[in-house]
Each structure stands twice: as structure tokens, then as C-alpha cells.
Structure 1
């Protein structure tokens, strides 16, 4: 309780703005309550939460001020209401799992595949402290709520940065690498980005969630380290959102090589992932101090130190634009040739 009391002053400072961005206040308070009940909070966390409130509200104001964005985002978010009861029903069991791991000194719990797909070893962990990790349909259907709480309601707003870089129309072949439930595709479709989408993911559960949510895309179970041989230089545009921080460094190298291979010369890669250590400010230390342990992200620290421009340059991908989107950053890259 003393820790929550320490947080009351910063919260009071932002209440006037919370009234104009009520969703942020709801999501942030829910996040605080969840972590306070399941995990210890210290001064680093509280400073991070305060900074995150302000950043999330700034992004709400920035994106929703643009013509047409408010209505499209509101329509996209309506689908989340269908999965809200499932998410609320899972909260207690998720908190119980975190406490069990704490009591027994466990960083991860085993994940048991139900199919014969050749999953890489690094994937078989309960990422995000979800039961059965990425192989759980429940986790897949509640993914958007998980990251909504994590990102103070700015989950869809950050991916709007990717959508803004995609031309309107229906003329492009687009590959989404590690698509998950492909949430951003529905949001893009509402904004006249009605291209030919292909989504690949390791998880059959996340692909099934994408199908249940009626994504207008071809959805395939596939390891991004080994894309189809016949896809060489096939796609006009690639998207890769929040994948690299969940991969060990050798896998990142292989995935980058494969993305470069299947992208046509002159094509575009839209890459979004977490900000990195070199870009942090004193109020943003939380993700780098505790994120890996709190959310069972075993490769996060390595990602935050990775030199992304150098990585992409090794594979013929040139950075033409870098832009900050709250707790994520967007890199726009072109394939040389």
C-alpha cells in the first residue's frame, strides 16, 4: 500500500488529461492493480508508469486528431469486446500462475505442442506468462487485451504507424511475418489498405484466432527462419511487428536474411519493435530493468542492445526512415537492387 501511495501524487498530476483520454486511465489503472497484486513494484516501475501515462495520452491525441483515424480505430476496437469476457475470466488464473512461478523460483513453465510441427526450442516457453505460451488459443484470443494493458491503451495506435506507411489501394502483395492474430490487418482494411495479405506464424492457435476474427488474408503456419523457397523476390512489401524481441540473436539473423530474400528489389520492409536501450530516457528505465522477468521475455535484453541498422545492412536492407511511436519504434527499409 505504501508503494501505491507513492504513486498517488503523479497520478493526480495527470488526472485532468485522463478525463479527456478515459481509456488510458482505465487501462493503466488495471495494469497497476494487476501487477501490484502479482509482482513487486519499486521506484523504477512507478517512474516508468508515470512516464507511460503521459506518453500514451500524447499518442492518443496525436493519432486521433488526424481526419478519419478516430472512426476507423473505433470500429476496429469493437471486435475486442467479443474477447473481453474471456480475458477477464483468465486474469485470476494468470496471476496465480505468476505467483506459483515466483514461489518456486521458476522463470518459465513447460509448453506442450499438440501437433508435430518442428517448433524451434526457443519458442517452447510460456511467453508473457500465458498458459502454454504461444500455443494457447485463449492467449491468442486475448492477445489484444494483454498488450492493451501493457501499453496503456496505445496498442492499436502504435501499429497505426505501420499502416500509415502502406499505400492505399489493393495492388500490393504483402507478407506479415509473425502475424499472430493479425489484428492490424482489420484496422488497415478499414483505412482502404485492401491489399493481398499473407500472414505466417509459428502458432496454430494464433492463426486460428486470426481466422475466427475473419482476417482477409492467406494464413500459413511457418517458421520465419525458413520461408518457402518459391517466395524469392515475391512480395512488394513486408511487415514485421514486435517479433525480434522474442527471438535469440541467431534466429534474428536468419529471419532477417529470409525477409530480404522474399522481398522484391526496391521493395519495402516496415519493421516495428520495442525501443532500445540507447533510446531510453531516465523515466523509461522500467522496460529494460524488469520487463524481461515480469513478462517472461528471455531474449529482450539482447534485442535492446542490437544494432538494427547494421543488421539490416548486412542483408541489403537500407533504413530510409526511423520514427518513435510511444514505446515502439518504426523502421522503414528498402531492399537494394
Structure 2
């Protein structure tokens, strides 16, 4: 029987995903050429402060650049194609995998979906990462996203491992042990897994808007014998009682929501923490930590890569927001991921 978390892709699917990954790696020399042309044609220390004006200035300077045109075409094709190719790879192994998917719907974990949930406007109908149809496009989108897209393709672009980063963040929480942990925006359960491995005695709860992602997180927990409690709820409105947790955490959630909702999420984290409880939130690199050209690269990648809220959230001072809602002992460190920690006053 096939393992839930180690899909044995068929030759076609494996080759297609290998091509996607290799194409991403092959784009590096093209990107270097684009950077060299920008440095030759513009004074990068004096690029416009306004991001739209900066983009227009660079687009104009590169209007005749073959490398820039190639970079855009490669990026566009990759963004539009990765979801479809990954889904096709899943369909090839679905008959063999189905018994495992069925078996892991049962186990110690619990899952509460809310068919009546009114999805927030920032999420409903948005095709994040240009995934056609969004996170709930297909019945098994959670598996496709969690086990194929991330583990068979995205992980190759992160030196040291994309999941090692999640483990590192989980281990950054101030205490050695916790009793009740909330993972905000748990998605398909990758960071939840890191929390479970780091704090094996804790009761772990996860909230997430995507039903399909939650279903895969549920299967992941059952496959590993973990008693996670998973709910289809928004991170900014979890519905839990005040003081329900001693650690509230999230990994790379913030850039998926608007700036005003970010503050609501931090405020909700404070509310559901017990006095003296800890918060640890991580997200993408702050624009304040980058030079102007690097900001342009990140901003353009997000704009054309299906990240509608990246610019406004990457421009936020997350430590300031944490202090504003009431956290104390706030620290903010790291480039990627950028990690903010705080404590609820006693």
C-alpha cells in the first residue's frame, strides 16, 4: 500500500514535476542577466520610492531586453502550469492511493468543517499562487498541495529544506514545553507537524479556511497517530474562549491576508492566550530589510505569482502591531522567515 506522505509518482508525473523544478532552477542565470542589465541602465540606489513608479521605471529601462522578456514568459508559464501538472500527477496515482486516503479519514484526530461559514472577501474566490480554482478547486487539493506541489517541487528551491525552516520556527518558542497550542492558518498541516514533533505532549489545535487543506491535515494527523483538533474557522475569529491556549503560532500566513486583518489576527492571538502565554508568528521578508532592487524583485514576483496581499503585508512592522494589540517582550528577527515573538501580560 502506498504511504500517505510519500507518493510514488508515475513516470509521466515525475518527469513533468522534474521539468517544472529544473525550469525554476534554470531561470537563475536569466534572472542574473536581468539584474546586470538593470545595474547597467539605472542608478539602483536612486530608484523611485513609490513601488508602482519603481516598477514602471524598470519596465521602461528593460523594454528591449530579451532576458527580461524571457524571464517573464518563464515565470508566467510556471505559475499557470504548476497546479495543473501536479493535479495530473495525482490523478495517475489516485487509484493506488485511494485506500490510504480512505483509511486515514479515521483515527485520533478530529475535524469540524462548517458548510455555513461565510468566507471572508479576501479569501473567497481568490486563486492564491495562481492555483486554478483556489485551494478548494478539487476534492483532493489538500493532498496535491501538501504532498506533491510542496514536497516534490517547492522544497527543491529551499537550501536546507523548506520543512527544516518550519521546524526551526517551532523550536523558537520561548518554552521547552506547552500544553495547548493553536496553529493559525494550519493549511495542510506542515507547520502543525513541526509543532507536534517539537512539543509531543501538547494538545494541538488548528484553524484554516480551506476545507480541502484541513481534510489533508486531518489525514496527516491520523496517519501519524496525532490527536489534532482541526476547525474550519478564520484566524481572526477563531471562536475559542479567552485564555484557551498557552502558545499561539503561525507560519507564513500573514502575507495571505490584508493588512487590516493582520492586526485582527494578532489581537485574536492575544485574546485566546492565557495570561503569560506566548505568541510566535512568522512570515516573508520585510521590505524594510531589503534594498530597493530586491524589493522590486520580491514585489514583482508576488504581483504576478498570485499573492494579492504581499506588498501591503510585507510593508508592515509586525513587531509594532504586536505591541499595539497588547503583547509585551516583543522581538522580531530573521530575514526569511521573519519571526515575531511576544507574551501576553500576566
- Please say whether Structure 1 and Structure 2 have the same fold, judged by a TM-score greater than 0.5: yes
Q: How does 1:68-87 map to 2 (within 5 A)?
A: none
Contact 1:207 1:221 in 2 (8 A): yes
Deviation beyond 6 Å, 4+ runs, structure 1: none
Distance 1:308 1:127, change over 3 A: same
Contact 1:131 1:139 in 2 (8 A): no
Contact 1:178 1:200 in 2 (8 A): yes
Q: Deviations over 1:216-255 (max 9, x none)?
A: 2111110122121x52111100001111111112211222
Is residue 224 from structure 1 mapped to residue 231 from structure 2 by the alignment?
no
Alpha-carbon distance in structure 2 between the residues aligned to 1:297 and 1:193:
33
Alpha-carbon distance in structure 1 between the residues aligned to 2:36 and 2:183:
33
Unaligned runs of 5+ in 1: 1-26, 48-89, 97-113
Alpha-carbon distance in structure 1 between the residues aligned to 2:197 and 2:182:
18
Distance 1:194 1:44, change over 3 A: farther
Is residue 261 from structure 1 mapped to residue 283 from structure 2 by the alignment?
no
| Deviation, structure 1 residue 95 | 9.8
Equivalent in the alignment of 1:278 = 288
| Deviation, structure 1 residue 165 | 2.5
Q: Deviations over 1:259-312 (max 9, x none)?
A: 111111111001110111111257844652322223210110001111212211
Equivalent in the alignment of 1:208 = 215
Q: Deviations over 1:115-149 (max 9, x none)?
A: 54311111121101112212242334435335424
Number of residue pairs the alignment of both structures matches:
247
Unaligned runs of 5+ in 2: 1-16, 39-80, 88-113
In our comparison, the structure showing a higher alpha carbon Rg is 2
Please, which of 183, 186, 191 is the counterpart of residue 179 of structure 1? 186
Equivalent in the alignment of 2:73 = none
Q: Deviations over 1:141-182 (max 9, x none)?
A: 43533542453563112212322134445x510000001112
Alpha-carbon distance in structure 2 between the residues aligned to 1:144 and 1:214:
18
Alpha-carbon distance in structure 2 between the residues aligned to 1:328 and 1:190:
19
Please, which of 299, 323, 326 is the counterpart of residue 289 of structure 1? 299
Equivalent in the alignment of 1:244 = 254
Give the root-mean-square deviation of aligned CA atoms.
3.4
Alpha-carbon distance in structure 2 between the residues aligned to 1:35 and 1:95:
18
Alpha-carbon distance in structure 1 between the residues aligned to 2:262 and 2:303:
21
Distance 1:257 1:305, change over 3 A: same
Alpha-carbon distance in structure 2 between the residues aligned to 1:143 and 1:318:
38
Moved more, 175-184 or 188-197: 188-197
Q: TM-score, normalised by structure 1?
A: 0.63
Distance 1:309 1:218, change over 3 A: same
Alpha-carbon distance in structure 1 between the residues aligned to 2:25 and 2:133:
21
Equivalent in the alignment of 2:202 = 195
Alpha-carbon distance in structure 2 between the residues aligned to 1:178 and 1:233:
19
Contact 1:188 1:194 in 2 (8 A): no
Please, which of 155, 168, 177 is the counterpart of residue 161 of structure 1? 168
Q: TM-score, normalised by structure 2?
A: 0.62
Equivalent in the alignment of 1:317 = 327
Alpha-carbon distance in structure 2 between the residues aligned to 1:191 and 1:233:
22
Distance 1:140 1:125, change over 3 A: farther
